[in-house]
A = this chain, B = another copy of it.
């Protein structure tokens, strides 16, 4: 689709780098008091009085992290921002600015990049962040996006991965596995479409799953909710690679073990039915599917009353002494060691 040479398409080379940056960033007006100078100089200038600053970077690469045959560019731009903001919220901070690096091959018309930037702008608007800089480059193949997010927090509010203690409760926001099942559905539809380009898929029943894959939302609401509830997690991480891998991160950083209860893992009914349809085990999907961008955190037992009535939170286990290890307690009450099966694109590449 993107490689069509329709007459209304503008070649990248007609604009050059500076023209392209001007075009893409013309709608990006800085709005936050902490943004002193955004795009247009050697560096952005920010100012935070007596706050700690949070910085995080993520790459998204065509062919590795996304497939443009089912990922519309506007959604891709939006998602690229979410992936990064999620890391800031996982520190219990407020995201404030991003820089955007984009490298593209000439196969993309300017209009494609404008679509990508529309998604970035939409995310910036909804999440109240400023786009303060970036780099635009040509690539000899495909599309790459690198986003750096900057955020802030009061020193006393920052939550690291390393503060969990034995007996702390393990809690997750939202539900898990939907983004991965959304991806499975999109992949299947792509195959169906290849076989029969006239097929009219009815994807209504999968709306939630597809949205979780194509337009995930980072949990901006959670840090202020903690404030309202008077809770400070002892450790926190965002779920980008799958629950299992993230629990292992928290345990290793905090030098504790964990028991995760299979029956407690929050699953949307549409995930359960899609797993049945695809003959997949829903627990495995929640453990290893990834891209949920929910927050996983631990709290002291005495804080349980503060969160127990809240529909955003599900207690899924508890931390233990380090030497007890990390386990999944199945519905049949068997204890299985947790293994990380999240990110393994490097291994997949070999197959």
Contact = CB atoms under 8 A, between A and B. Distances in A.
B64 A139 contact: yes
Q: Within the oligomer, what is the number of copies of this chain?
A: 2
The A contact surface, by secondary structure, is mixed
A256 interface: no
Which 6 residue pairs are nearest across A and B when measured between Cβ atoms?
A: A43-B56, A146-B146, A42-B90, A42-B87, A43-B54, A148-B148
A95 to B, nearest CB: 9
Given A43-B149, A44-B56, A59-B101, 15 more contacts: A17-B345, A42-B86, A42-B91, A43-B56, A47-B51, A53-B53, A57-B101, A61-B137, A61-B138, A61-B140, A61-B144, A135-B146, A138-B346, A140-B349, A144-B144
A132 interface: yes
Contacts of A187: none
Interface string A147-161: 011110101001011
Given A59-B146, A144-B103, A349 B44 contact: no
Contact of A57 (B36, B133, B162, B343): B133
12 contacts: A13-B347, A18-B343, A40-B253, A41-B91, A42-B91, A43-B91, A45-B52, A55-B132, A55-B148, A56-B99, A57-B133, A144-B144
A56 B133 CA distance: 7
Nearest to A155: B47
A142 interface: yes
Interface string A298-334: 0000000000000000000000000000000000000
A135 B13 contact: no
A205 B135 CA distance: 35
Interface string A340-351: 100111110110
Interface in A58-101: 58-59, 61, 63-65, 86-88, 90-91, 93, 97, 99-101
